[in-house]
């Protein structure tokens, strides 16, 4: 167990309409039976961290229902364990959350009561499988004030780099400069928004920023204090996704159909845990065709499914064809329907003979409970 380190997950406020109209982005279903937050939580649990706080901002009922007491991650403990932390608007100016500093200020009592020395601060909309124990050890070895985990996105389109906070490093991997979503990137070292520091330093940063009315952890804390702190980068070389748009959500989900990415993300040495549901196995009809797809329990497939991801309880009728699509829980696809490059939220019903076609770069998204 890593008793000297606590974890804090910020669920963020990136909007991916219509999927985040009813849930936090960290609670988005992915790979059929998982949620995005499962990856961050599992990484912390696999590192032996026994005190994890999940700071929420809005639309957090779905997230709370999913993680509950934290049992799947072995965090259902009498002391510490998993703590779900709704926003404390009393500590925000005018009762409005303007940034992640406001979220951290709202949970300052929880941070102060925790008895760990170090803290791992991470956003909850990242998909990766990493040895966080090694990150903390590197932080201690470097005698760093802050360690920022990054991924070198060499070869990625420059337009895609603008989604990230970029780190400029010297030969010792000490951070020389930081740019937040620059229009003209000078480096390809993308921050994964995972930071390791002493808990006392985090408390000091939050208190000082709150007193000055600052609201952004990177812009108002790290960048302004960079000259007086030892900030080091820790390079992660594995698969990493940031889910902050419909395009990135669709690409991340569909990449799970690639065996190479799937085997790395679902590493048997560091398992990814999730809430379990007991349902019957999927039933396949005599004429059913299913190739290169993720199919969860409880589905009924009588039509054709190709390169798609189906969550629990999805029904595909005879003659229906679903390609390159993401269909969430309890959706119904009736006879003769043709779907390609679509993303359906829960309980969507598409009646007989309909045809819905999106594009890989712009998938067609349908909100929960819609009937077409």
pLDDT in tens, 292-313: 999 999 999 999 999 999 999 9
Count: domains in the chain: 2
Whether the Cβ atoms of residue 221 and residue 228 lie closer than 8 Å to each other: no
- Looking at the domain assignment, is residue 133 inside a domain? yes
Q: What is the pLDDT of residue 227?
A: 80
Q: What is the pLDDT of residue 94?
A: 47
DSSP 3-state of 361: coil
213 plus 327 within the same structural domain: no
Is the pLDDT at 371 greater than 70? The verdict is yes
202 plus 320 within the same structural domain: no
Q: What is the pLDDT of residue 88?
A: 67
pLDDT mean over 196-201? 96
Q: What is the pLDDT of residue 317?
A: 97
CATH of the domain at 181: 3.90.550.10
Q: What is the pLDDT of residue 49?
A: 96
Q: Sorting pLDDT into bands at 50, 70 and 90, what band is 75?
A: very high
62 plus 105 within the same structural domain: yes
- Looking at the domain assignment, is residue 274 inside a domain? no
pLDDT mean over 72-96? 77
pLDDT mean over 75-103? 76
- Looking at the domain assignment, is residue 276 inside a domain? no
200 plus 291 within the same structural domain: no
Cα–Cα dist 356/195, whole Å: 42
DSSP 3-state of 195: strand
234-267: pLDDT as tens digits: 999 999 999 999 999 999 999 999 999 999 999 9
Is the pLDDT at 339 greater than 70? The verdict is yes
193 plus 236 within the same structural domain: yes
131 plus 248 within the same structural domain: yes
- Looking at the domain assignment, is residue 212 inside a domain? yes
- Looking at the domain assignment, is residue 31 inside a domain? yes
Q: Which of 230, 265, 300 delimits the end of a domain?
A: 265
CATH of the domain at 326: 2.160.10.10
* Predicted model pTM: 0.93
Which range, 4-13, 98-107, 136-145, 153-162, is most confident?
Answer: 136-145
C-alpha dihedral sign at 69, 72, 76, 81:
negative
- Looking at the domain assignment, is residue 270 inside a domain? no
Q: What is the pLDDT of residue 291?
A: 96
DSSP 268-332: TTSPPP------PPPEE-TT-EEES-EE-TT-EE-SEEES-EE-TT-EE-TT-EEES-EE-TT-E
pLDDT mean over 79-106? 76
310 plus 164 within the same structural domain: no
- Looking at the domain assignment, is residue 230 inside a domain? yes
Cα–Cα dist 189/118, whole Å: 24
pLDDT mean over 36-65? 92
Q: In this predicted structure, which of 21-30, 120-129, 311-320 has the lowest mean pLDDT?
A: 21-30
291 plus 260 within the same structural domain: no
DSSP 3-state of 19: helix
Average pLDDT of the chain? 92
Q: Where in the sequence is the domain holding 355, given as residue range(s)?
A: 283-366
Cα–Cα dist 332/271, whole Å: 31
Q: Which of 265, 295, 327 delimits the end of a domain?
A: 265
217 plus 127 within the same structural domain: yes
Q: Sorting pLDDT into bands at 50, 70 and 90, what band is 13?
A: low
Cα–Cα dist 8/220, whole Å: 19
What number of CA atoms fall less than 13 Å from residue 132's CA on the CB side?
A: 30
302 plus 153 within the same structural domain: no
pLDDT mean over 357-361? 93
Is omega for the bond preceding 277 within 30 degrees of 0, making it cis?
A: no
254 plus 111 within the same structural domain: yes
Question: How far, in Å, are 49, 147, 202, 216 from residue 108 at the CA level?
Answer: 19, 21, 10, 16
DSSP 3-state of 51: strand
178 plus 303 within the same structural domain: no
* DSSP H/E element including 250: helix 246-255
- Rg over alpha carbons for the chain, rounded to the nearest Å, is 21
Is the pLDDT at 154 greater than 70? The verdict is yes
DSSP 3-state of 33: coil
- Looking at the domain assignment, is residue 354 inside a domain? yes
């Amino acid at each position: 167990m890593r008793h000297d380190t606590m974890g804090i997950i910020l669920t963020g406020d990136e909007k991916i309409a219509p999927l985040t109209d009813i849930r936090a982005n960290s609670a988005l279903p992915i790979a059929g039976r998982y949620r995005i937050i499962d990856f961050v939580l599992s990484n912390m649990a696999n590192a032996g961290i026994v005190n994890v706080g999940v700071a929420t901002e809005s639309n957090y009922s779905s997230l709370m229902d999913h993680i509950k007491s934290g049992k799947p991650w072995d965090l259902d403990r009498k002391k510490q364990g998993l703590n779900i932390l709704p926003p404390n608007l009393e500590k925000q100016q005018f009762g409005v959350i303007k940034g992640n500093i406001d979220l951290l200020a709202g949970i300052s009592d929880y941070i102060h009561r925790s008895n760990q020395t170090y803290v791992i601060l991470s956003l909850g909309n990242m998909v990766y499988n990493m040895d966080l124990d090694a990150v903390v050890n590197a932080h201690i070895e470097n005698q760093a004030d802050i360690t920022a985990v990054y991924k070198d996105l060499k070869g990625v389109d420059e337009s895609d780099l603008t989604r990230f906070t970029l780190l400029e490093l010297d030969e010792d991997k000490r951070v020389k400069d930081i740019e937040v979503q620059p229009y003209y990137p000078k480096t390809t070292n993308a921050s994964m928004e995972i930071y390791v520091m002493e808990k006392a330093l985090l408390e000091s940063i939050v208190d000082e920023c709150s007193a000055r009315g600052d609201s952004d952890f990177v812009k108002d804390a790290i960048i302004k204090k960079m000259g007086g702190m030892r900030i080091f980068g820790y390079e992660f070389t594995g698969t990493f996704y940031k889910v902050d748009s419909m395009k990135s959500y669709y690409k991340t989900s569909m990449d799970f159909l690639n065996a190479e990415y799937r085997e790395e993300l679902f590493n048997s040495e560091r398992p990814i845990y999730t809430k379990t549901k007991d349902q019957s196995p999927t039933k396949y009809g005599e004429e059913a065709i299913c190739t290169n797809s993720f199919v969860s329990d409880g589905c009924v497939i009588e039509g054709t499914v190709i390169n798609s991801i189906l969550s629990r309880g999805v029904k595909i009728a005879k003659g229906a064809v679903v390609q390159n699509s993401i269909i969430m829980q309890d959706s119904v696809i009736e006879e003769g329907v043709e779907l390609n490059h679509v993303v359906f939220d829960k309980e969507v019903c598409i009646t007989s003979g309909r045809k819905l076609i999106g594009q890989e770069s712009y998938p067609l998204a349908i909100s929960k409970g819609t009937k077409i």
